[in-house]
Amino acid sequence: MPVPEKPALEGLEAKWTARWEESRLYRFDRTRPREAVFSIDTPPPTVSGSLHVGHVFSFTHTDLIARFKRMCGKAVFYPMGWDDNGLPTERRVQNYYGVRCDPSLPYDASFVPPATPPKPPVSVSRPNFVELCARLTAEDEKAFERLWRQLGLSVDWSMTYATIDRKSQRVSQLAFLHLLDRGLAYQVEAPTLWDVDFKTAVAQAELEDRETPGAYHRIRFGAASSRPIDIETTRPELIPACVALVAHPDDERYKPLFGTAVTTPLFNVRVPVRAHHLADPEKGSGIAMICTFGDITDVTWWRELSLPVRAVIQPDGTLSRSVVFGEDGPWASAQPAAANAAYLRLAGLSASKARTAIVELLGASGELIGEPRPITHAVKYFEKGDRPLEIVTSRQWFIKTIEFRGALLQRGRELKWHPAYMQARYDNWVNGLNGDWCISRQRFFGVPFPVWYPIDASGRIDHARPIKAAVNRLPIDPSTDVPDGYRPDQRGMPGGFAGDPDIMDTWATSSLTPQIVCGWETDADLFARTFPMDLRPQAHDIIRTWLFDTVLRSHCEHDSLPWSNAALSGWVLDPDRKKMSKSKGNVVTPMGLLEEHGSDGVRYWAASGRPGTDTAFDPSQMKVGRRLAMKLLNASKFALSNAEPKGPIVWPVDRAMLRNLALLVAEATEAFEGYDYARALQRTETFFWRFCDDYLELVKGRRYGEQGADAAGSANAALTTALSVLLRLFAPFLPFVTEEVWSWWQEGSVHTAAWPQPGEIESARHQDDQAAYEWATEVLFEVRKQRSEAKQPLKVPITKVAITAEPAALALMPHVEADLRSALRVQAFEVTSGEPRAILVAGYEAPAP
C-alpha cells in the first residue's frame, strides 16, 4: 500500500479537484431511469461582486446531500447556475464602469468604458449597457466557479447555466407567453409599489419593514358642521392628493358625517367622508385621510370605495409640477389661486422636503394643531433600496396569484419540508398575499417581455393588443428585434410598432430554474428523467420569493410541484448575532478561510449547522475540522501500515467495536435520509474520536503480533473494516482527505463507493463483547487520568494497577487484560472482588540510574 511517510493536508484540494474533473467523476449519467435519478434545483447565486461565507455555509449543505445520494447509488443531477440579471448586477456595473443607461441613445459599436469611473457617469445605450453587464458577470462567474471547486462542490460543471443566457431567456419568454395565452398574465395601469431611486416597480415579496423616524401631525379639515375634523398623519405632504376621509362604520363619533363632505387644508378641495371596516378607531383621532397613494391601505380604500385619482408623487420621488387647481375637474378648489400658491411651494420637491415645507404652511395657516409628535414606525422599503417606497400609478405586467391561494396552500402540504416547521412560513406568506405578482421592472439588464404594441395612425400605443413573438423566434429583444409583418423603420412611427420597454423581475426567471435545467420544451428525454425534481435547497428567508414563486409557476404550467423536498438552511450570523449580508457590510469572504483551514475544515464548520438553524460564524470550529481531517490521515496511516496478517475477527474488543460501528451506520443513514446531515456528522465524529482514543490504543500492541498471529489477524481485519466504513461515512463532509486516504488502498473514488450498510460489517459477536469493551475503556480512561495527574510520561511503565470491582466486571479481565497491559504499559493487575469500584495505579517503575 502506498501509504505516505508523512501524510499532509496541504495541496489536496488542487490535486483532487483536477483529478475529479479529468475523470468526469460527477457527470450526470442520463441513461439512468427516473427512479434511479436524484435531481437538485441548485440555487443560482447572484453574480454581483463576490461570494461570502454564508454562501459557503448553505451550498455545503446541498453538496452533503448530493454526495450521500450518489453513494447510495443514485445518478445525481446537480447543475450550477448564475443569477446574473437584476438590480444588484446593474448597480455593480454602474459603479464599476462609471456609466448609466439611457435607452434613448443609439448603440455605439466602438464604445470603450472609461479606465476609471468618471463623475458624473457616462450615458450609454441600453445595448451597450447590457454588453458591460455581460462582460462583468462573466468575470465574476469565473471567480465563483474557482471558489466552488476549491470548496469541493460535486457539481456537474458541464451543465452550468446563467439566468440571462439564451436558453434561460427562451424558457422565461415561452412560459410568459403560455401564461398570456391562458389569461394568467395581464397588463394593467394601476397603483404600484415603486422604488424612487431605482425607478422601478417592486413586488410584495421584495418588501421589508424598517423602523424609521417620523412624526404624527394633527391637521384640521374644514367641515360643514359646527365642528372641524382633525386627522393625524405622518405624511402631510400628501394632503393635495387627498380624495376622502374614512372612519370605521361603527364609530359613533363620525357616523353623522358619513355621506357629507369636508374641505382639505391649504387647498380647499371638497372630499367625502366615507366608512370602511379597515379604519382603526383607536389610531390617532380615529379618522384618516385617503390619499392616492400613501400606502397599500390607501389603494384598498381607493379601489373598494371607487374614489378618484389625484396623484402627486412622480416616479423620481418628487411632487409633480403639472398639478394645477381650478374651479372644476379632478383638481377643483373653492379657492384655486390660494391652492396653486400653496402647491407651488411643494412642486418639484422630494417627499421629505415637501413634508417640511407643508408643515410650515400649515403652521402659518393655523391648520396644524399643536406640535408634530415624534414617533418611530415600520415603513416599507424595497429590500435593496435606501428610501421608503412610494405608490405610483404605472403600467405593469402581473401574474395571477390570489385566485390560486387555496391550491398553493395545498401544494405546500404536499411538499416535504426539512425542517418540517418551515412550512408555517410558507403558509403565512400565502395567506398574507394582498395582490397579484407584479413581474415587470423598469430596468435594462434582464429578460425582455416578448411583445410589441401597435401604434395607431394618431401615434397612440395600443397596449390592449400586444403583438406576441412567434415561439420559433425566441428569445427576442423587442427593443432591437422587429415583429413579423413590420419593417425596422416603422419602430415608434404612426401605423408602426413599439417594443415593450420593460424587463422581467429576476424572480420571474429564477422561478423557472427547474424548467431551465431540466430541458423543458428543448430536451424531452432529460426532462422526463429529472422533473419533477427531488430537492430544492435554499435559505429560509427566500421562502416567500424563490420557493413560493417556483411553486406557483410549476402549478400553473405543469399542475404539479416542481420538486418533492425542500431543505432550508439558516443564516450565518456575525459576532453580534446579526445576519451576514453584503448590504450590511459585515460579510467575510471565504477564500482566505479555505486556504487557512483547508476546505475540509470549512466544510466541517458548515456541516455542523443544523437544517434551518442560524449558525454563528466561528473560525475555531474550522480549526476543529482541520484537526479532525489531520487525525483521519494519521489514524488511517496507523491502520494501513503493517496491515498483515488478517484473519477472522474473534477478539471481543474487535467485535464490540464493529457492533458499535454497525449501529453508527444505521443512525447516520437515518439522519441523512431525514436531511439531518449535522446529526450524521456529530455521531460519526463522536465515534471516530473514541475509536482513536480507546480502540486504537487497545489494539496497538496486538496488531503488531504481541499476542500471536490470530490476535493480530483479528485486530488488522477489524481495523481495515472500520477504516473503510469510516472513510465512507466522512466522505460527504471531508471529501478531500477521505479521497486521499481511499486512494492509498482502494480502487476508484470513495465518492462513488457504496454508502456503508450495517450488514456488511462483521456480525459474529458474543453477548459479553460489549461489556468487555466498555470495561476495558473504563480501565483505560482511569489509568491514563491518574498517569496524567501524576505527570508521568507514557513511556514510564506502571508496576501495578489495583482494581476492586464486582465479580461480573472482574470476569471480563481475561478478555482484555493483554490489550490493557500493552496499551498502558502495566506490568501487573491486582484484582479484588468488592464494591464500590476502584481503579488505582499503585506505582511506577523507577528510572534506571
Phi, psi of 253 (to 5 degrees): -65, -30
- Specify the pLDDT at position 184: 97
Alpha carbons 147 and 189: distance in angstroms, whole number: 45
Q: H-type helices in 37-97, by residue range?
A: 53-71, 87-97
- Specify the pLDDT at position 763: 60
- Specify the pLDDT at position 848: 66
How far CA 789 is from CA of 107, 365, 417, 838, in Å, comes to 81, 87, 51, 17
Question: Considering only CA atoms, which of 520, 535, 631, 724 is closest in space to residue 70?
Answer: 535
**What is the separation of C-alpha 231 from the centre of its chain, rounded to a whole number of angstroms?**
43
Question: CB-hemisphere CA count at 13 Å for 702?
Answer: 31
- Specify the pLDDT at position 77: 98
pLDDT tens digits along 354-393: 999 999 999 999 999 999 999 999 999 988 888 999 999 8
Q: pLDDT category, 46, cuts 50, 70, 90?
A: confident
The answer to whether residue 447 scores a pLDDT higher than 70 is yes
Region for 451 from its dihedrals, namely left if φ exceeds 0, alpha if ψ lies in -120 to 50, beta otherwise:
beta
- Specify the pLDDT at position 442: 87
3 state DSSP class of 484: coil
Question: Which contiguous run of DSSP H or E holds residue 244?
Answer: strand 242-247
Strand-pair category, 81-82 with 270-275: unpaired
The answer to whether residue 746 scores a pLDDT higher than 80 is yes
Beta carbons within 8 Å of 632's beta carbon, 6+ residues apart: 688, 726, 727, 730, 734, 737, 738, 741
Question: Which grid cell is 737?
Answer: 482527505
Is the four-CA dihedral 703, 704, 705, 709 of positive or negative sign?
positive
* First-to-last C-alpha distance (Å) of the chain: 43
How far CA 824 is from CA of 186, 235, 789, in Å, comes to 80, 80, 15
Question: Which grid cell is 138?
Answer: 462573466
Length of the chain: 849
Question: Considering only CA atoms, which of 722, 714, 716, 705 is closest in space to residue 822?
Answer: 705
pLDDT tens digits along 462-501: 999 999 999 999 999 999 899 999 999 999 999 999 999 9
The answer to whether residue 49 scores a pLDDT higher than 80 is no
Question: Which grid cell is 544?
Answer: 416567500
pLDDT tens digits along 207-229: 888 999 999 999 999 976 667 89
How far CA 400 is from CA of 182, 395, 435, 516, 813, in Å, comes to 11, 16, 9, 22, 76
Amino acid making up residue 164: I
**What is the separation of C-alpha 261 from the centre of its chain, rounded to a whole number of angstroms?**
51
779-796 average pLDDT score: 92
For the chain, the helix, strand and coil percentages under 3-state DSSP, each to the nearest 5:
45, 20, 35
**Average pLDDT, rounded, for the chain:** 93
Answer whether 412's CB lies under 8 Å from 380's CB: no
More confident residue, 2 or 273: 273
Answer whether 489's CB lies under 8 Å from 530's CB: no
Q: pLDDT category, 206, cuts 50, 70, 90?
A: confident
The per-residue DSSP string of 710-754 comes to: HHHHHHHHHHHHHHHHHHHHHTTTSHHHHHHHHHHH-SS-GGGSP
Question: Which grid cell is 837?
Answer: 469500584
Q: pLDDT category, 103, cuts 50, 70, 90?
A: confident
Beta carbons within 8 Å of 157's beta carbon, 6+ residues apart: 21, 26, 80, 145, 149
Ranges 54-63, 318-327, 586-595: which has the least confidence: 586-595
Question: Which contiguous run of DSSP H or E holds residue 676?
Answer: none
For 234-244, b/e burial (b = at least 16 CB within 10 A) is: bbbbbbbbbbb
How far CA 502 is from CA of 125, 444, 498, in Å, comes to 15, 7, 12
For 180-204, b/e burial (b = at least 16 CB within 10 A) is: beeebbebeebbbbbbbebebbbbb
Answer whether 28's CB lies under 8 Å from 156's CB: yes
- Specify the pLDDT at position 225: 64
Question: CB-hemisphere CA count at 13 Å for 126?
Answer: 15
Alpha carbons 27 and 159: distance in angstroms, whole number: 9
Question: Considering only CA atoms, which of 546, 517, 476 is closest in space to residue 166?
Answer: 476
- Specify the pLDDT at position 2: 78
The answer to whether residue 765 scores a pLDDT higher than 60 is no
The answer to whether residue 766 scores a pLDDT higher than 70 is no
The per-residue DSSP string of 400-460 comes to: --GGGHHHHHHHHHHSEEESGGGHHHHHHHHHT--S-EE-EES-SSSPBPSEEEEB-TTS-
Question: Considering only CA atoms, which of 833, 714, 814, 727 is closest in space to residue 772?
Answer: 814
Amino acid making up residue 488: P
Give the CA dihedral 302, 307, 313, 315, nearest 10 degrees. Answer: 70
Alpha carbons 681 and 367: distance in angstroms, whole number: 68
More confident residue, 498 or 579: 498
pLDDT tens digits along 666-723: 999 999 999 999 999 999 999 999 999 999 999 998 998 888 999 999 999 999 999 9
- Specify the pLDDT at position 643: 78
**What is the separation of C-alpha 671 from the centre of its chain, rounded to a whole number of angstroms?**
22
- Specify the pLDDT at position 576: 73
Question: Which contiguous run of DSSP H or E holds residue 611?
Answer: none
Answer whether 217's CB lies under 8 Å from 249's CB: no
628-647 average pLDDT score: 92
Beta carbons within 8 Å of 541's beta carbon, 6+ residues apart: 571
Beta-bridge partner residues of 194: 201, 390
The answer to whether residue 849 scores a pLDDT higher than 80 is no
3 state DSSP class of 8: coil
Alpha carbons 435 and 250: distance in angstroms, whole number: 27
The answer to whether residue 55 scores a pLDDT higher than 60 is yes
Number of alpha helices (DSSP H) and beta strands (DSSP E) in the chain: 25, 30
Amino acid making up residue 263: T
- Specify the pLDDT at position 706: 87
Q: pLDDT category, 832, cuts 50, 70, 90?
A: very high
pLDDT tens digits along 528-575: 999 999 999 999 999 999 999 999 999 999 999 999 999 999 999 877
Beta carbons within 8 Å of 200's beta carbon, 6+ residues apart: 87, 194, 441, 442, 443
**What is the separation of C-alpha 53 from the centre of its chain, rounded to a whole number of angstroms?**
12
